[in-house]
Chains A and B, each alone.
Chain A
């Protein structure tokens, strides 16, 4: 009997604690416009998620009367059993009027949540539900034209490599990642052919995919190992396509061991920090301008279910007020390469250099762009394979 009594006591105390803490102080009276952020990674990942988090802070600063709430590490590995619609409920309950979901991985969940909350606005980053007409009217899409940033990354890599072997640390395979890897390759080939005047066949551009946007131990390939493999097999520049900073971290270690290697991180303007001796620069997103637009639209009632693909501001690609995509040269980028890169950026802006222009072939030899044909946004967005000249899988085998 005694044992029973112990358990009853335990159960009763549980209930008492529960009830005792049920009461909560009421919220303040002035009502800010609350927008919620669902971040796939940690808010301080020095990569994709941090770029979004800081854009949220920018909105709070630039648009008076706004307040951000966020949930980070929104992925099934970090938060088992939690779904996007459930988190959207949580944010709505906390007063969010606009919810920004920052991952490709949240596409289905965001659409489902948007259908369940027709009065709340949803912005899905990197998605195309508006293009595919799957989006309800309260759902919009935003993406940056990172192709340009990636072309600059590829350019910087080709100008720096001594072995002529460039590694691309890819996340998972889909339209977005194919497009970005291909842009990197085109930038590299441009530098190789038109600046260094070398045979494009002698340029080795290899893509290795890890399976997700960041390392999930036991699930994805380990990006640290993939980078080490690259560096140990003669690839002296690794360009990162994943959300986190493994590539520069490994490059820094190798550099300290005396190897002449470099890396180019991705996503976040501060990604070179702490690894400056190995960092050639970083193509980054500046989500502030895009966010501000959608937040203002949502606040003023001028919401539109639109698909927006914002490019760099060619007057100054690093202008935080106007440019959604930028490239910050890193300390390790050689002077000569830096000067060439500046010229390249100018040529991209003036359309003297158009890289998505035929003849371009897919990996299997089929035609992507005919001679002289310039790719439309849709053609770039929906690339079906990697390009001829690149090594690596175009989709899973």
Chain B
């Protein structure tokens, strides 16, 4: 309620009728099949990144580097797709782009993981640093070796021919493969956390690394594994952005979905079951937010303010609920 009051207040301050603004956000995100398609298009990378982050959060690591991992996924996917241009087997390269994307993200995450476990660098700093490096590599490639012929522009590489695009539902512009990937990622993760030994060890290592060590396991190795898994999922998200959304490599290929995914996971209280719903909500805000400037002539970043307010409120609520329930749920 407080959040609602707060966001309403902000909207009124901005001179927008709040009810209309909320209505626009909703209609602008779910008002038609196309809109839902656009929302799902944002939902896919957001969910993939968030699912990856569940692994690292489970082992108590802050994988801020998810953004860079997504970028490297996009870079690896682009590299493969570039080989596929004018080849006789475009489908082969299109499929290969995804393992490559996962590899790119995974390797990049492994870098942060090794820095953490071998070098003693906190994963937040390692991740942030690697984000900058990834961004640098991305810009270098776009402006340098992968530039369009005769052009030097930060607006991106030349688009791939349509045979190297993921398919899209006609009229909706949503690639079913992307949705399938995200759904599969969710399913695998649910299974891992519920039934696999690995999921259990992640949790144990996150809660008490020393205890895990006493049981003869090496927490460092599991940390790296969790990082690699997170990076692979983020890399896939990058691959989807390249092959399914932009059909080329652009400087903001990650669309900040990595950072946004961190919020998704926090707002989901680190639970895999809530991740798709929260990611969907964020995707709605992202897509519907464009209505605010178009109709009400207010800045669309207000959608971001609403988003932020929800996250803060949810975190506060979680903290409060934990405090309330501390006696039986002490952690």
Contact = CB atoms under 8 A, between A and B. Distances in A.
Interface in A1-25: 2-3, 6-7, 10-11, 14, 17-18, 21-24
B147 interface: yes
B154 to A, nearest CB: 4
Contacts of A72: 293
Contact of B251 (A10, A83, A219, A396): A219
B329 A175 contact: no
Interface string B303-331: 00000000000100110011011000100
A126 to B, nearest CB: 13
B71 to A, nearest CB: 13
Given A72-B293, A76-B251, A172 B23 contact: no
B167 interface: no
B210 interface: no
B117 interface: no
Contacts of A86: 38, 173, 287
B19 interface: yes
A77 B252 contact: yes
B154 A83 contact: no
B159 A108 contact: yes
Given A2-B324, A81-B257, A172 B151 contact: yes
B281 interface: yes
A71 B245 contact: no
Contact of A90 (B26, B143, B151, B291): B291
Contacts of B294: 69-71, 90-91, 94
A221 B98 CA distance: 32
B191 interface: no
Contacts of B277: 11
B150 interface: yes
Interface stretch (A210-218, A243-251, A345-353): A210-218
Contacts of A24: 20, 23-24, 27
Contacts of B28: 90
A224 interface: no
Nearest to B31: A93
Which bucket holds chain B's interface residue count? 35 or more
Contacts of B269: 3, 7
Interface in A362-393: 384, 393
Contacts of A396: 143-144, 147, 151-152
A125 to B, nearest CB: 15
A175 B150 contact: yes
A2 B4 contact: no
B298 to A, nearest CB: 12
Contacts of A212: 153-155
A85 B174 CA distance: 12
B291 A81 contact: no
B300 A3 contact: no
A212 B252 CA distance: 13
Contacts of B155: 104-105, 172, 212
A64 interface: no
Given A6-B317, A86-B173, A81 B286 contact: yes
A233 B252 CA distance: 33
Given A174-B153, A212-B155, A10 B314 contact: yes
Contact of B23 (A6, A23, A209): A23
Interface string A71-93: 11000110111110111011101
Given A21-B22, A81-B256, 12 more contacts: A2-B324, A11-B277, A21-B23, A23-B23, A69-B295, A83-B246, A90-B290, A94-B295, A108-B159, A116-B171, A175-B150, A396-B152
Interface of A: 2-3, 6-7, 10-11, 14, 17-18, 21-24, 69-72, 76-77, 79-83, 85-87, 89-91, 93-94, 104-105, 108, 116, 172-175, 209, 211-212, 216, 218-220, 384, 393, 395-397
- By Cβ-Cβ distance, the 7 closest A-B pairs, closest first, are A396-B152, A172-B153, A80-B255, A81-B255, A173-B152, A21-B22, A211-B154
20 contacts: A3-B321, A22-B23, A71-B294, A72-B293, A77-B252, A81-B256, A81-B257, A82-B287, A89-B35, A89-B38, A90-B294, A93-B31, A105-B155, A172-B151, A172-B153, A172-B154, A173-B152, A175-B150, A216-B154, A395-B152
